Structure 1
Amino acid sequence: MKLTNEQMIFVNLPVEDLERSKSFYTALGYTLNPTFSNDDGACIVISEHIFVMVLRKPFFETFISKPIADTHATAAVINALSATSREAVDAQLEKALKAGGTEPQPPRDYGFMYQRSFQDPDGHLWEVAHMDMDAAPG
């Protein structure tokens, strides 16, 4: 990972089972950055500027002063990623489901935008969407 002056995002997620999380996210086609991974957490590279830090819950707690939310019972955030086509949205969801994720909502088709959602094994919500801006209203 080469740090640049461009803005990047690091999504930090508390997880129960680090190995399960690493397996899940690499099954989606993302890569593991071993330089920023250890027994407490792992850096999952989604793109040049998007990273997911999956952190064992006790380690995650060292960064916060609030209790960790029960992501299986509540939602506080939906992490959304773009896709290059409707087919890419479907392919990403199929990978997530095959890797142990669930699809908490049915697909949504707005004509110009197509969305599907998945929940990782720790209950974190993700959305994958394709937007055809040429077909967007007004």
Structure 2
Amino acid sequence: MHKQIFINLPCKSLPASKAFFEALGYRFNPQFTNEHGACLVLGENLFAMLLTEDFARGFTAKPLVDAKTATEVLVCLSCESREEVDELVAKARAAGAAVPRPPQDHGFMYGHGFEDLDGHIWELAFMSGMPPNA
């Protein structure tokens, strides 16, 4: 079926957004990065395209959502451990992210998250097992 995912997210300042994610330890694919957009590598075959707002408008007839005032998408990434979740949230906070909620511990799943510089919500989760009654 599908082999890759590209999440497209508009951003107000592409240089600031790139610096933010680089501070979290992520890298960008230079083959798909220019002054209009940057290909954020999230994992094997997992990518987010950070697009300038003007460039993003070229892909839709709908108005762009201001992610600081409305939620247009929740991006959830799996992590290898609780420590990785906490480490990424700490790096995001240090790089200027908002962290509006405390961590959530559901026993089999631990999660926390942040809002990037543009307000996009990034949830991070570590699953140590299956939910009860699954």
Q: Which residue of 2 aligns with 1:30?
A: 26
- Residue 137 in structure 1 maps to residue 132 in structure 2: yes
Cα distance in 2 for partners of 1:91, 1:32 equals 20
State the AA in 2 paired with 1:115: G
Cα distance in 2 for partners of 1:28, 1:10 equals 19
Deviations 1:42-82 (A, max 9, x none): 11111111111100000000000100011110112110001
1:66 is aligned, of 62, 68, 74, to 62
1:44 is aligned, of 40, 46, 52, to 40
Deviations 1:23-53 (A, max 9, x none): 0111111111111111111111111111111
- Give matches, 1:1-138, under 5 Å: 7-133=3-129, 136-138=131-133
Number of aligned residue pairs: give it.
133
Q: Which runs of 4+ in 1 moved over 2 A?
A: none
State the AA in 2 paired with 1:137: P
Query: Where does the alignment leave 5 or more consecutive residues of structure 1 unmatched?
Result: none
Query: Where does the alignment leave 5 or more consecutive residues of structure 2 unmatched?
Result: none
Cα distance in 1 for partners of 2:118, 2:64 equals 12
Offset of 1:6 from its aligned partner? 5.7
Identity %: 45
TM-score, structure 1 normalization = 0.92
3-state SS of the aligned residue for 2:58? Answer: helix
TM-score, structure 2 normalization = 0.94
Say what the alpha-carbon RMSD is for the aligned residues: 1.3
3-state SS of the aligned residue for 2:49? Answer: strand
